[in-house]
Amino acid sequence: MITKTKFEWKLGAATREAFGKALVELGRTNADVVVLDADLSKSTYTAEFGKQFPDRFFECGIAEANMVAIGAGLAASGKIPFVSSFSAFVLNKGFEQLRVTAAFPNVNLKAVGTHSGISIGEDGPSQMSIEDISLACSLAGFVVMCPADEVAMMKLIEAAVEFQGPVFIRAGRAKAPVVYAPNQEFTIGKAVELTEGTDVTLIATGLLVAESLRAAEALEADRISARVIDMHTIKPLDRDAIVRAAKETGAIVVAEEHLVDGGLGVRVAQVVAETHPAVMEFIGIDNRYAESGSPDALLDKYGFRAVNVAEAARRAVKRKR
């Protein structure tokens, strides 16, 4: 567990880079792992796997739907395929195949979408995937994960290989602050409580985990005790962690680099409504698309910073009182 005042703001690798590194390590130890890409292997960091294991790497070209279907076929034949592209492409262009060839037959396909959220930056809204969590969670039987940093990505890729069934993992383009020590353990469906707190709970995923830790520091100065939870697995949710947060703090802020409609916040709110109603606030994209700009400028403009999370927490605590 992290002490709020001791969290160090240190940038590490992007989670897409950690994904590429994890694949190479898996390739050395598991001959069943195969990788497919859709003409973006340098950007998704699957290119190194292709260099090291050319017989197990399949370049599918700009044909994401075909890539997913091929991957599903390889899964049905006993392989452990990773299909990868930008989230906006693998989810939107490959959705029918994800549904029909992976989700419905429940094959052992692993889909990784990189360049998720608005932190992709200058590439603009056509490539900003702000619907991918919602789409992936709508696929029956899929596990959906969004790692906060390079350590989480490496460990969750390993967990995905051990899991028998379809998985979607969300990765980002921007370098991610280091949240975890290298020995941190992760379990699919089990959230990580990073800080204790009694007044409000900050439930975050991806880049917003580090921002929530910074928000907790600011709230501590205001004598507001904030619990921070990394909900790295969005499906299945850690319901127990959510119920405890609702009962013990009475106020929850959900922070995600995704549309508020259909994302993590909606899923957390469903659990809260079913089990122990509590005050809730939401940080995310509100029913619009972002514009082109630098990643930092976009995160600032659309309210994905610690100051925004802290403001939402103060509103929640005020409403609770």
Q: For each of the chain's 321 residues, which pLDDT tens digit applies?
A: 665 456 677 899 999 999 999 999 999 999 999 999 999 999 999 999 999 999 999 999 999 999 999 999 999 999 999 999 999 999 999 999 999 999 999 999 999 999 999 999 999 999 999 999 999 999 999 999 999 999 999 999 999 999 999 999 999 999 999 999 999 999 999 999 999 999 999 999 999 999 999 999 999 999 999 999 999 999 999 999 999 999 999 999 999 999 999 999 999 999 999 999 999 999 999 999 999 999 999 999 999 999 999 999 999 999 997
Question: Please, what are the domains in the chain?
Answer: 4-9+185-320 (3.40.50.920), 12-177 (3.40.50.970)
Copy the structure tokens of residue 92: 């939107």
SS3 for the chain, per residue? CCCHHHCCCCEEEEHHHHHHHHHHHHHHHCCCEEEEECCCHHHHCCHHHHHHCHHHEEECCCCHHHHHHHHHHHHHCCCEEEEEEEHHHHHHCCHHHHHHHHHCCCCCCEEEEECECHHHCCCCHHHCECCHHHHHHCCCCCEEECCCCHHHHHHHHHHHHHCCCCEEEECCCCEEECCCCCCCCCECCECEEEECCCCEEEEECCCHHHHHHHHHHHHHHCCCCEEEEECCEEECCCHHHHHHHHHHHCEEEEEEEEECCCCHHHHHHHHHHHHCCCEEEEEEECCCCCCCCCHHHHHHHCCCCHHHHHHHHHHHHHHHC
Of the residues 17, 48, 64, 150, only one is catalytic, namely: 64
280-315 burial: b if 16+ Cβ within 10 Å, else e: bbbbbbeeeebebbebeebbeebbbbbebbbbbbbe
311 a catalytic residue: no
